[in-house]
Amino acid sequence: MGLTAAPAARIAGIDEVGRGCLFGPVVSAAVVLSPQGCDQLADLGVTDSKRLSESRREGLVTPIQTLAIDYALGLATVHDIERLNILYASLLSMRRALGRLSEPPDLCLVDGNQPIPNLALPQRTVVQGDRKHIEIAAASILAKVWRDRLMARLDRRYPGYHLARNKGYGSAAHRLALQTLGPTAQHRRSFKGCR
């Protein structure tokens, strides 16, 4: 099934990355595209970020940013995650991304099955939205690349956890480092792998 642009005036696709990580924030992106922008990005191969290699994702960031009418990022910190739980922190990061757009969209296409609470904008949840709507796929790429770059920077600040490789997910090397070094301030201590 091919990706399609949703028919409306100003539509924001929104997606998050990092929900299953043991380390660091959850990051969301919101992307507003014109129908022409959707077509051009589809031709360039924009799809769910998980289906693309790291180098392919990196190569699509500039075209997405260039063709987007608007885009923004939002995050929820480890403190937010511990205070709210990962689901509500993810939804908070989405709301923050939408709040950073230069003007409110007419419709928010939210990846997944959970609507964003307390959002004073029309929204529609789309299960596997990053495979169905270019706007959401573009958001998934921007969020993923931004978070991966953050993990590479934090790898230098928190050596020994192999963050540049595992991106904060619970790889065997990361779990072993937690056992030997203990958790940092950026680890999600409520998560089973960090206890």
CATH number, domain at 96?
3.30.420.10
DSSP H or E stretch at residue 29 = strand 26-32
pLDDT value, residue 195: 73
Say what the pTM is: 0.94
Indicate if the pLDDT at residue 86 is higher than 60: yes
Domain enclosing residue 87, as ranges: 11-153
Indicate if the pLDDT at residue 26 is higher than 60: yes
Give residues with Cβ within 8 angstroms of 143, minimum separation 6.
Answer: 15, 16, 17, 27, 28, 29, 49, 73
Indicate if the pLDDT at residue 162 is higher than 60: yes
**SS3 of 95, please?**
helix
Q: What mean pLDDT comes out for the span 183-192?
A: 95
Indicate if the pLDDT at residue 5 is higher than 90: no
Position 192 in a domain: no
Indicate if the pLDDT at residue 8 is higher than 60: no
The string of pLDDT tens digits covering residues 115-156 is 999 999 999 999 999 999 999 999 999 999 999 999 999 999
Position 193 in a domain: no
Tell me how far the alpha carbon of residue 163 is from its chain's centroid: 17
Position 194 in a domain: no
Position 6 in a domain: no
pLDDT value, residue 2: 65
| Amino acid identity at 53 | S
Position 70 in a domain: yes
